[in-house]
Amino acid sequence: MLKNKRKIRLYIFKSNKHIYANLIDDKQKKVITSSSTISKDTKQQTKSSTNCTTAKIVGKNIGIKLKKLGIQEIIFDRGTNIYHGQVKAIAEGAREEGIIF
pLDDT confidence of 41, banded at 50, 70, 90? confident
Backbone phi, then psi, for 36, in 5-degree steps? -155, 180
Q: Under DSSP, is residue 55 helix (H, G, I), strand (E, B) or coil?
A: helix
Q: How far apart are CA 45 and CA 37, in angstroms?
A: 10
Strands 8-14 and 74-77: parallel
Mean pLDDT of 53-74: 94
Per DSSP, the three-state class of 72 is coil
| Average of per-residue pLDDT across 10-35 | 93
Taking only the tens place, the pLDDT of each residue in 73-96 is 999 999 999 999 999 999 999 999
Domain ranges of the chain: 8-96
Alpha helices in 1-101 (DSSP H): 40-43, 52-69, 86-96
Least confident of 4-8, 37-41, 61-65: 4-8
CATH class in words for 8-96 = alpha beta
Specify the pLDDT at position 4: 46
